[in-house]
């Protein structure tokens, strides 16, 4: 009879793979990434990926028998003084501990990594010759790392055509803009999530447009004077596509290591919505 050998995959194995994809040292100093709840010796047969840690996510993890949940936004970001199920900020962690689910945060290290949040965003927009907007001097998979990306469209397009493409690939609940629309868009800068503070860097790099989220009021006014077209695509919409990108990277490496682990992406919706009806 043939002898079948099954590899027992542990949380540490997944941490090792994530270290190849998005090394911990790429994370910002203020961030909190890596294994946040659970044990490196825990067994893993199924992984659930998500942008945000929510109690609904733990319920989904139970349904798909996922022992490990990886979120982009860390489940523990600020210091905890308690772990109570009756407090919104602690419900998720309490539910995960009760269910015996391990939690990993993969945040700004995934933002900066090659193939991470910003590369996915750049690829969706078909940008070529991309480079980090804020290089950190590091390398990942032989490519330069850092926050944001800047690159070129194959052919210049009108601002209206670019907006149509952006709406198609991101499906955002809204698009906000500041500054003047250029006649043609060729050089594009992106930074998923809240990165409006990087707008001056995008302008200095020659970007015709900068796509990010949570653009501050003073930065929007600055863009009017500076002549940079800013687009706010929403925090969720600019980062959510990266979860599928991370899933693909994990699956590739798990298969290469003969690790039979299922990897799924949770279906989440943006927490902010446009209000329908007449404005006041």
DSSP string of 138-160, one letter each residue: EEETTEEEEEEEEEEEEEEE-HH
Instruction: Tell whether residue 111 is among the known ligand binding residues.
Output: yes
Q: Hey, how many other C-beta atoms are within 10 angstroms of the C-beta on 197?
A: 12
Structure tokens at 214: 């949570």
Backbone angles phi, psi at 254, to 5 degrees: -65, -45
- In Å, what is the CA distance from 182 to each residue of 158, 170, 178, 236? 8, 21, 12, 26
| Rounded CA separation 136/133 (Å) | 10
Rounded CA separation 237/170 (Å): 6
To the question of whether residue 239 is assigned a binding role by annotation, the answer is yes
Q: Is 248 exposed, middle or buried (CB count within 10 Å of its CB: 0-12, 13-18, 19+)? A: middle
Cross-strand bridge partners of residue 210: 189, 230
* DSSP-assigned beta bridge partners for residue 194: 213
| 150 token code pair | 């800047």
Q: Is 72 annotated as a binding residue?
A: yes
Annotated binding-site residue numbers for a divalent metal cation: 72-73, 111, 235, 239
Annotated binding-site residue numbers: 72-73, 111, 235, 239
């Amino acid at each position: 009879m043939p002898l079948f050998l099954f590899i027992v995959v542990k949380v540490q194995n997944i941490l090792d793979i994530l270290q190849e994809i998005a090394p911990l040292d790429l994370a910002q100093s203020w961030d909190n990434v890596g294994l946040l709840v659970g044990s490196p010796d825990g067994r893993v047969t199924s992984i659930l990926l998500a942008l945000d840690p929510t109690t609904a996510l733990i319920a989904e993890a139970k349904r798909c028998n996922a022992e490990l949940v990886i979120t982009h936004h860390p489940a523990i970001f600020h210091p905890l003084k308690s772990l109570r199920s009756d407090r919104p900020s602690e419900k998720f962690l309490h539910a995960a501990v009760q269910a015996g689910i391990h939690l990993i945060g993969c945040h700004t290290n995934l933002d900066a990594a090659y193939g991470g949040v910003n590369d996915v965003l750049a690829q969706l927009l078909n940008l070529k010759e991309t480079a980090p907007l804020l290089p950190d001097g590091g390398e990942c998979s032989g490519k330069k790392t850092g926050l944001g990306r800047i690159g070129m469209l194959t052919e210049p397009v009108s601002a209206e055509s670019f907006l149509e493409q952006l709406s198609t690939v991101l499906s955002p609940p809204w698009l906000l803009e500041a500054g003047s629309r250029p006649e043609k868009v060729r050089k594009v800068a992106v930074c998923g999530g809240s990165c409006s503070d990087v707008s001056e860097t995008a302008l200095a790099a020659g970007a015709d447009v900068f796509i990010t989220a949570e653009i501050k009021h003073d930065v929007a006014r600055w863009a009017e004077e500076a002549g940079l077209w800013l687009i706010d695509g929403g925090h969720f919409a600019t980062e959510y596509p990266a979860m599928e990108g991370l899933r693909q990277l994990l699956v590739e490496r798990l298969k290469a290591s003969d690790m039979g682990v299922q990897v799924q992406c949770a279906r989440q919706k943006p927490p902010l919505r446009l209000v329908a009806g007449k404005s006041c």
